[in-house]
Amino acid sequence: MTLAQQGKTAAQQGQTASRASKVQKVVTPLGIEAWLVEDYTVPLVAMDFAFTAGASSDPAGKPGVANMMAALLDEGAGEMNAEAFHRALDDSAVELSFHSGTDTLNGDLKTLTRHTDEAFELLRKAVNEPRFDDDAVERLRSQVIAALRREAKDPDSMVTRAWREASYGDHPYSRPVSGTLESVPTITCDDIVAAHKRLFARDLLKIAVVGAIDAGRLARLLDKTFGALPAQSDLPEIPEVEVATATRKIVALDVPQTTIRFSLPGIPRHDPDFMAAIVLNHILGGGVFSARLFKEVREKRGLAYSVWSALQTFRHSPLFSGGTSTKNERAAESISVIEEEIAKLTADGPTGQELASAKKYLIGSYALRFDTSTKIAGNLVHLQVDGYPVEFLDQRNDLIEAVTLEDTRRVARRLFEGKKLLVAAVGKPDGLV
Radius of gyration, CA atoms only, the chain? 23
* Cα 409 to Cα 418: distance, rounded to the nearest angstrom: 14
Nearest in space to 109 (alpha carbons), one of 194, 15, 226, 190: 226
CA 218-220-222 angle, to 5 degrees, is: 65
pLDDT of residue 16: 53
Superfamily (CATH) of domain 248-427: Metalloenzyme, LuxS/M16 peptidase-like (3.30.830.10)
Contact (Cβ atoms closer than 8 angstroms) between residue 419 and residue 245: yes
* Cα 94 to Cα 1: distance, rounded to the nearest angstrom: 24
Q: Show me where the domains of the chain are located.
A: 3-226, 248-427
Average pLDDT over residues 280-294: 94
HEC string for 107-120: EEEEEEHHHHHHHH
Indicate left, alpha or beta for 14 from its phi (over 0: left) and psi (-120 to 50: alpha). Answer: left
* Cα 95 to Cα 110: distance, rounded to the nearest angstrom: 5
Superfamily (CATH) of domain 3-226: Metalloenzyme, LuxS/M16 peptidase-like (3.30.830.10)
Q: In the β-sheet with 95-100, what is the strand arrangement from edge to edge? A: 24-27, 33-38, 205-211, 44-51, 105-112, 95-100
**pLDDT, tens only, 16-71:** 568 899 999 999 999 999 999 999 999 999 999 999 999 999 999 999 999 999 99
**pLDDT, tens only, 172-223:** 999 999 999 999 999 999 999 999 999 999 999 999 999 999 999 999 999 9
Contact (Cβ atoms closer than 8 angstroms) between residue 403 and residue 279: yes
Contact (Cβ atoms closer than 8 angstroms) between residue 397 and residue 250: no
- In 182-303, the DSSP E strands lie at 205-211, 248-252, 257-265
